[in-house]
């Protein structure tokens, strides 16, 4: 499939050996995921410090766990959109392409992107705060939907970080 780029962009990348694309919440908005600061933003009712920091988790793990569980549900139901798929096609044009994203939804990977650097982690995996054991978020939530499980005296926390 051919990709049509604006002329200025095409000229700049024509001889490029390495290309980096940076994405944020806007690319996943088309997939139905709320942005953090947009019109129907996630931070409309809460401050990031109340839900999306290690300190918030230490102060109120149950509330933060439930919020991450809610976010995981939204992410799990979302599908990659045309923007995610266009970046997969774009990556195929360059010998060295990396996608850097602030998103935690995994939609770039589900669309087929292979070299993805997730700046804020992922909402798809839970990590123990004590031993760093990780597991799929779905499994962690199934075992403990209301509060984080503590098999080694640690607490599971989403691997997603604050934005």
Domain count along the chain: 1
Contacts of 147 (CB under 8 A, 6+ apart): 61, 62, 65
- Domain holding 72, by residue range, is 19-158
On whether residue 8 sits in a domain, the answer given is no
On whether residue 2 sits in a domain, the answer given is no
Strands (E), 27-120: 96-101, 116-118
84 catalytic residue (yes or no): no
On whether residue 10 sits in a domain, the answer given is no
On whether residue 7 sits in a domain, the answer given is no
CB 141 within 8 A of CB 157: no
How many CB atoms within 10 Å of residue 97?
20
On whether residue 60 sits in a domain, the answer given is yes
On whether residue 57 sits in a domain, the answer given is yes
Indicate which CATH number applies to the domain containing 96: 3.30.1600.10
Query: pTM for the whole thing?
Result: 0.81
CA end-to-end distance (rounded Å), the chain = 34
**Residue 6 has what pLDDT?**
83
Rounded CA-CA distance 118/103 in Å is 7
Rounded CA-CA distance 102/8 in Å is 26
Question: Which one is catalytic: 120, 150, 154, 163?
Answer: 120
Rounded CA-CA distance 159/128 in Å is 9
Residues of the chain with pLDDT under 50: 162-163
On whether residue 45 sits in a domain, the answer given is yes
pLDDT digits (tens, 9 = 90+) for 12-45: 777 788 899 999 988 999 999 977 766 666 656 6
On whether residue 27 sits in a domain, the answer given is yes
């Amino acid at each position: 499939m051919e990709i049509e780029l604006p002329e200025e962009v095409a000229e700049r990348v024509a001889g490029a050996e390495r290309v980096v694309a940076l994405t944020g919440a806007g690319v996943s908005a088309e997939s139905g995921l709320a942005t953090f600061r947009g019109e129907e933003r996630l931070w409309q009712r809460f401050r990031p410090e109340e839900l999306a920091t290690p300190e918030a988790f230490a102060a109120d793990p149950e509330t933060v766990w439930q919020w991450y569980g809610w976010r995981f549900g939204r992410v799990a139901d979302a599908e990659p959109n045309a923007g995610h798929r266009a970046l997969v096609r774009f990556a195929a044009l360059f010998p060295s392409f990396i996608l850097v994203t602030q998103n935690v939804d995994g939609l770039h990977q589900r669309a087929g992107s292979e070299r993805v650097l997730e700046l804020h982690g992922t909402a798809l995996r839970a990590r123990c705060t004590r031993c760093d054991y990780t597991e799929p978020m779905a499994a962690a939530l199934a075992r403990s939907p209301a509060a984080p499980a503590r098999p080694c005296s640690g607490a599971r926390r989403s691997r997603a970080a604050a934005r």
